[in-house]
Structure 1
């Protein structure tokens, strides 16, 4: 059986790790001059290729002067470089039927492109041109400020976005992880172009860059193209530098949830309710147990929440449970949308199901959840984007890369007693209730 690939940040320049994965896929990792990391997964027979350029900086890393900069940069890097206009960047991918986009998280930013394998050289050239040589013009900055404000306004009109943001703020208090990823209108209005550029210069460096590629890719060719593209962007690769280290997963998170109900008034047809608490970190040893617990509680149509609140009582259309991990901590919650007059009853039922899980689960529920998770793991990794994303998160967050077989074995090994113990832990934690809807 393939073995877990351990990842270290202290490897020498040029050091290479390689291991065969499931069904002949080959994963390789190389540290290039300057500390740039290249991480690839070659998948036999796959004609697509997805490239990701990752920087391990997210909204939690902003200092007060740079607040809002991370999300601002996600927009600005598409506005042009010394070699390309914004239209040039868009046309490069449209011309070959590819796609490009970016995502900003609380702990990382990723710029990615998905193309046919033959067009990967173009994707590497364009994406790394954006990352290394962003123009950051004042005119583009002023225009994009308005675009971001519209994006925030759109999110504020979405009760799902609102309730999850308010929930994170309520549970994590003043911790940086409790801040909204996109910032607030006040923050975006206040931040200056100079502050955003300073944030860019500080964090977008060779030692902080991770390039991942998956699908129909050749590792050595990707390394050569990345080296050329980064050098063409003017980054200094001559200085010996070790890659930026991962976050301290044992750093204390002092913000503590206290029992409370937060109500956000919106003129809506439904009330949206979320009940939850502090969850578990991305590297918690119980992550497989949590996935099984989540599947039983609210992960599908056969889950307890769906059956009890929707099927038996007809109180909601949408109901689910979720876990949202980060390096040192996480969030866990249960959500439903219902008629405003039923919000109190639905909130009570959500809490009841959290407590009932602590009384135990059946072998049948365990087996069904394990099958659901196993299927979702395999299906989720059937495309090159998912494989690319898995590599980036392994490098930035986990410090190791499990094969599909190992992930399936880990889920299969979960027991009824482990699920019950974790359920009792969650049920005993202080909860926060958030409601969005009519007064």
Structure 2
């Protein structure tokens, strides 16, 4: 059972005592991601994620790096479009040390100017690494053109030249605005003593500025809803394959149809039994890597179908994907296939929930998005109720070919933009 508490500064805490474990996972979610940036600050949330590991008033960067290793635990962080997360997993007897470390990082980071300059160079190398990866580019750049000027299309790592121009005061200004208690959530799951942990959290996190105390839903409402633009993105890279994505506008994070989306994703490209995998890889032999996934945000969402193929296979793969989608629009899924797909989705959910890290991730993300916590059992029950009629209606509604986007990155020497644009428009003007 998850209990909810608030520190004196309003910071929300989700705690789940699990006596069968001897380890404990803890995470801190901050409502600060690339969606909160503008063109002048794009990449700042990611920079701050890096900088909080570069030393505090009482610990050097090396001491922070060694801290969890010395006790056999692990600590890491990541930045998304909508939030930044710092997390740790350790044995229960070391939890208070982990709380102290994370609290120190979130409350007392130095943000030294020289350290910042060095780290910006490291991040520039990271950006170059992503730019060298067609599989990364094909995802990120498509979102950039689909969402146009909306910050949902910003790269999480940011523009390299913009990032290299950041100064210490820029970092401090961003942290002052977004690293406040009302924009944070802590989640803990595993074996611990509740009263002692709450006391430790108050001591280590209670000094964080409370902020304006607006609810997260109110803060989220300040960001405009993203407008979807059907787009074609093409970039040549000197590699052997073409990495391609076919995308459609999909659901935002709060949409009640998200359970149907989970079933549709699994049916289309979620595993080796999926229609995309079985048709395009197993039957036609056109691609080694083929899968689908959804990206749901507070202000918009996308559904992606990804494949890595030889340049000669781009056209037949595109046709095969469209044919599979059209078949789902025209024919009901069989009872047997639907049962298998739903069982697969439910099984993945339940197995994932056996990890304390995945549990805190569920709690932290739910609270940071301003929602109540939904248990895996509740989600599984809703997935189990999805019908074949709902699956077909979902595909008919959301996989509108006239709104299809296409991204191609890789060896495009034999794929002129004019021809691909004509092909793309041909599919978009076909009648479903």
The two structures have a TM-score, normalised by structure 1, of: 0.89
Give the whole-Å Cα distance in 1 for the aligned partners of 2:22 and 2:290: 38
Give the whole-Å Cα distance in 1 for the aligned partners of 2:42 and 2:154: 10
Report the alpha carbon displacement of residue 406 of structure 1 after superposing the two structures with TM.
Answer: 1.2
Residues 183-222 of structure 1: per-residue CA shift (max 9 Å, x gap):
0212212222211111011111222221111111333322
Residues 271-317 of structure 1: per-residue CA shift (max 9 Å, x gap):
11111121101110101101001111111111100011000011111
Q: Comparing 291-300 with 154-163, which one deviates more in the overlay?
A: 154-163
Partner of 1:318: 289
Please tell me whether the aligned partners of residues 257 and 431 of structure 1 are also in contact (alpha carbons under 8 angstroms).
Answer: no
Give the whole-Å Cα distance in 2 for the aligned partners of 1:417 and 1:396: 33
Indicate which of 20, 32, 39 corresponds to 2:14.
39
Report the alpha carbon displacement of residue 230 of structure 1 after superposing the two structures with TM.
Answer: 2.3
Structure 1 counterpart SS, 2:288? strand
Partner of 1:328: 299
The two structures have a TM-score, normalised by structure 2, of: 0.91
Partner of 1:191: 166
Q: 1:64 to 1:250 in 2, by over 3 A?
A: closer
Partner of 1:283: 254
1:156 matches 2:128: no
Indicate which of 310, 332, 346 corresponds to 1:374.
346
Report the alpha carbon displacement of residue 387 of structure 1 after superposing the two structures with TM.
Answer: 0.8
**What does 1:137-216 correspond to in 2, within 5 Å?**
137-216=112-191
Structure 1 counterpart SS, 2:25? strand
Partner of 1:393: 365
Partner of 2:208: 235
Please tell me whether the aligned partners of residues 43 and 155 of structure 2 are also in contact (alpha carbons under 8 angstroms).
Answer: no
Structure 1: 4+ residue segments shifted above 6 A: none
Partner of 1:100: 75
Please tell me whether the aligned partners of residues 273 and 337 of structure 1 are also in contact (alpha carbons under 8 angstroms).
Answer: yes
1:27 matches 2:27: no
Give the whole-Å Cα distance in 2 for the aligned partners of 1:34 and 1:300: 45
Please tell me whether the aligned partners of residues 283 and 398 of structure 1 are also in contact (alpha carbons under 8 angstroms).
Answer: no
Indicate which of 93, 100, 103 corresponds to 1:125.
100
Q: Comparing 121-130 with 30-39, which one deviates more in the overlay?
A: 30-39
Structure 2 counterpart SS, 1:151? helix
- Give unpaired runs (5+ residues) of structure 1: 1-25
Structure 2 counterpart SS, 1:118? helix
1:419 matches 2:391: yes
Give the whole-Å Cα distance in 2 for the aligned partners of 1:84 and 1:106: 29
Q: 1:246 to 1:316 in 2, by over 3 A?
A: farther
Q: Comparing 244-253 with 43-52, which one deviates more in the overlay?
A: 244-253
Residues 324-344 of structure 1: per-residue CA shift (max 9 Å, x gap):
000121011111111111112
Give the whole-Å Cα distance in 2 for the aligned partners of 1:292 and 1:308: 18
Report the alpha carbon displacement of residue 242 of structure 1 after superposing the two structures with TM.
Answer: 6.0
Please tell me whether the aligned partners of residues 299 and 320 of structure 1 are also in contact (alpha carbons under 8 angstroms).
Answer: yes
Report the alpha carbon displacement of residue 248 of structure 1 after superposing the two structures with TM.
Answer: 4.2
Partner of 1:21: none
Residues 339-390 of structure 1: per-residue CA shift (max 9 Å, x gap):
1111121122122222222123221221011110111001111111101111
Q: Comparing 76-85 with 332-341, which one deviates more in the overlay?
A: 332-341
